[in-house]
């Protein structure tokens, strides 16, 4: 019978921790969001899912992009090569986007995503 407890919650109870992000499932040295994303991307990689533009591959890319915004720069992960590739792609996109920001700043978010691959949460990096 499924009681909807979830793996993380079960770990929390078994380990007697007040919060899920304090369990052995997540790296407590990292920001809780970063730790959760790290665990998810690790599982995606173990299952052969790489960053891409469609479906679960896109979810992987979005998680990596979000991680880039939270990382201090010294962390090493088993998927660090993916992070480096995403960082390089993002920098190329931002460079091109900055070139046109003044002229096109009033364009909708869809324009920036479709043209440069820049996410709405990355707009502040254009200025």
- Residue ranges covered by each domain of the chain: 31-125
- CB-based burial label for 60 (10 Å; 0-12, 13-18, 19+): buried
Ranges of H-type helices in the chain: 7-15, 32-46, 55-70, 80-104, 109-116
Mind listing the pLDDT tens digit for each residue in 53-97? 899 999 999 999 999 988 877 788 999 999 999 999 999 999 999
Q: What angle do CA 81, 34, 92 make, to 5 degrees?
A: 45
pTM score of the predicted model: 0.80
Q: What are phi and psi of 39, to 5 degrees?
A: -65, -40
């Amino acid at each position: 019978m499924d009681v909807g407890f979830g793996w993380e919650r079960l770990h929390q109870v078994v380990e007697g921790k007040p919060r899920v992000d304090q369990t052995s499932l997540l790296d407590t040295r990292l920001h809780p969001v970063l730790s959760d994303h790290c665990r998810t991307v690790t599982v995606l990689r173990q299952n052969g899912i790489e960053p891409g533009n469609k479906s679960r591959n896109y979810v992987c890319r979005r998680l990596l992009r979000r991680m880039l915004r939270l990382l201090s720069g010294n962390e090493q992960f088993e998927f660090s090569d993916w992070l480096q590739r995403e960082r390089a792609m993002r920098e190329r996109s931002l460079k091109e986007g900055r070139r046109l920001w003044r002229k096109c700043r009033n364009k909708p978010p869809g324009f920036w995503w479709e043209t440069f691959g820049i996410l709405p949460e990355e707009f502040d990096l254009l200025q």
